[in-house]
């Protein structure tokens, strides 16, 4: 078990719970931070050798209609390998089992000595913590809680709006068209996504997770035109509404989500990998509008979709869980940089040693938004 947030043993109702990743019984791994945006049941069952573990599990899963992969998911946590293959028969898109054979996860959640079930809200905060010796009965009490849960969009009791900033008219339509034509002329390459293995960040391609092709914008005149527009038209809004002064920009790429190949990007965060810890804000500038789908969803705030206008930007924290829905018609073209500051640049440079050997090391002078001695406010006023 690997935790990415430290916390005391046990959980307190209302508090965010520690993030963790752990192996799944059926293969692969579970990462709690990616599962956000749904009601989550973490049932710490102890050892499968205990007859009560099977009894409680049967009661908890007696009505499988309660569980749905988009609304309410169940994860049983096992402290030892099960001898009975019956555990796998329960597995589905909404029901899985996590292996915790060293007991670290159970200890972290206060379930090492006393098995229990903990229910999390879509923002990964504990809303129920029911031990096996609960006076009203464990499994029935859990089922009563689950039956009372509202839809994800109503989880807060009021409609939620994600903390995104939409800024229109960042890139001129003519520049947008040039970038689209550039992509159509030269094409792009599978962009893949970042993945940490053995303490190193590498890039992998898995079409189940992401299908997008990117073209690097290398022409200095185009890069300067893009930079000038972002500095003059986008940074002032970020400073005003997010109270953050961006001085660096990572990536000059034209990205294409193509409906012909099912372009999409599944749930992820942009700053959890070692090689991405420097990223503070993600920017998505739409270069065209003649497509369907391809919208932004931030699951922790419900299923509402967001879209930047043609030539405009949508800006959000790199720490927010988000996804891009499949493009169902046409192609979506976008310019997709990340913004950060001087302290973040120092962190990025320090993390060079933790990049896979196939990745190009970061050069600190390559991403400045302002020339030496040039103040941000002077550039914005020019």
Residue 331 structure tokens: 């192609």
pLDDT at 72 (0 to 100)? 96
pLDDT at 287 (0 to 100)? 98
- Buried (b) or exposed (e) across 340-377, using 16+ Cβ within 10 A? beeebbeebeebeeebbeeeeebeeeebebbeeeeebe
How far apart CA 63 and CA 196 sit, in angstroms, is 37
pLDDT at 305 (0 to 100)? 97
C-beta neighbour count of 300 within 10 angstroms: 20
List the beta bridge partners of residue 110: none
pLDDT at 1 (0 to 100)? 46
CATH class of residue range 165-381: mainly beta
- Phi/psi-derived region of residue 14, left when phi > 0, alpha when psi is between -120 and 50, beta in every other case: left
The domain defined by 2-154 folds into Glutaredoxin (3.40.30)
Determine the 3-state secondary structure of 149 from DSSP: coil
pLDDT at 357 (0 to 100)? 63
How far apart CA 170 and CA 231 sit, in angstroms, is 9
- Check if the beta carbon of residue 299 is closer than 8 Å to that of residue 336: no
Determine the 3-state secondary structure of 139 from DSSP: helix
- Buried (b) or exposed (e) across 158-193, using 16+ Cβ within 10 A? eebebebbebeebbeeebbebbbebbeeeebeebbb
Q: Could you tell me where in the chain the CATH 3.40.30.10 domains are found?
A: 2-154
C-beta neighbour count of 301 within 10 angstroms: 24
pTM (two decimals): 0.89
Q: Which residues contact 378 (CB under 8 A, 6 or more apart)?
A: none
How far apart CA 348 and CA 345 sit, in angstroms, is 5
pLDDT at 192 (0 to 100)? 74
Measured in degrees and rounded to the nearest 5, phi and psi for residue 55 equal: -65, -50
Q: What torsion do the CA atoms of 121, 307, 328, 202 make, to the nearest 10 degrees?
A: -70
pLDDT at 377 (0 to 100)? 53
| Sequential pLDDT tens for the chain (382 residues) | 444 443 446 899 999 999 999 999 988 899 999 999 999 999 999 999 999 999 999 999 987 788 999 999 999 999 999 887 777 778 888 999 999 999 999 999 999 999 999 999 999 999 999 999 998 899 999 999 999 999 999 999 999 999 999 999 999 999 999 999 999 999 999 887 666 666 666 767 778 889 999 999 999 999 999 999 999 999 999 999 999 999 999 999 999 999 999 999 999 999 988 888 899 999 999 999 999 999 999 999 999 999 999 999 999 999 999 999 999 999 999 999 999 999 988 888 887 777 766 667 766 677 889 876 565 454 445 4
Q: Could you tell me where in the chain the CATH 2.60.120.620 domains are found?
A: 165-381
DSSP 367: S
Determine the 3-state secondary structure of 201 from DSSP: strand
């Amino acid at each position: 078990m690997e935790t990415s947030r430290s916390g005391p043993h046990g959980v307190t109702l209302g508090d965010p719970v520690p993030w963790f990743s752990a192996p799944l019984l059926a293969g692969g791994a579970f990462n709690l931070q990616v599962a956000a945006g749904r009601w989550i049941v973490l049932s710490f069952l102890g050892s499968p050798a205990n007859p009560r573990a099977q009894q409680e599990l049967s009661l908890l899963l007696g009505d499988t209609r309660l569980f749905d992969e988009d609304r309410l998911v169940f994860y049983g946590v096992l402290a030892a390998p099960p001898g009975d293959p019956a555990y796998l028969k329960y597995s589905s898109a909404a029901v899985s089992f996590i292996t915790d054979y060293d007991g670290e996860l159970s200890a972290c959640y206060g379930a090492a000595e006393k098995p229990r079930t903990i229910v999390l809200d879509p923002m990964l905060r504990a809303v129920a913590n029911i031990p096996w010796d609960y006076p009203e009965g464990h499994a029935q009490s859990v089922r009563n809680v689950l039956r009372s849960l509202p839809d994800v969009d109503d989880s807060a009791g009021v409609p939620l709006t994600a903390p995104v900033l939409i800024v229109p008219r960042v890139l001129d339509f003519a520049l947008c068209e040039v970038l689209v034509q550039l992509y159509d002329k030269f094409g792009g390459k599978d962009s893949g996504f970042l993945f940490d293995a053995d303490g190193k960040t590498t890039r992998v391609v898995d079409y189940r997770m992401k299908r997008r092709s990117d073209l690097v914008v290398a022409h200095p005149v185009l890069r300067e035109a893009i930079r000038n527009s972002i500095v003059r038209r986008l940074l002032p809004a970020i400073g005003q509404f997010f109270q953050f002064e961006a001085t660096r920009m990572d990536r000059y790429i034209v990205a294409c989500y193509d409906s012909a190949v099912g372009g999409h990007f599944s749930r992820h965060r942009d700053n959890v990998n070692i090689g991405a810890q420097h990223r503070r804000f993600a920017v998505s500038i739409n270069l065209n509008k003649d497509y369907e789908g391809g919208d932004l969803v931030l699951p922790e705030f419900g299923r509402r979709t967001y879209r930047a206008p043609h030539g405009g930007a949508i800006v959000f924290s790199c720490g927010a869980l988000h996804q891009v829905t499949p493009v169902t018609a046409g192609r979506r073209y976008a310019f997709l940089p990340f913004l950060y500051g001087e302290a973040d640049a120092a962190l990025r440079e320090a993390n060079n040693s933790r990049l896979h050997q196939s990745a190009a090391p970061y050069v600190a002078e390559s991403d400045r938004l302002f020339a030496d001695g040039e103040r941000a406010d002077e550039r914005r006023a020019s």
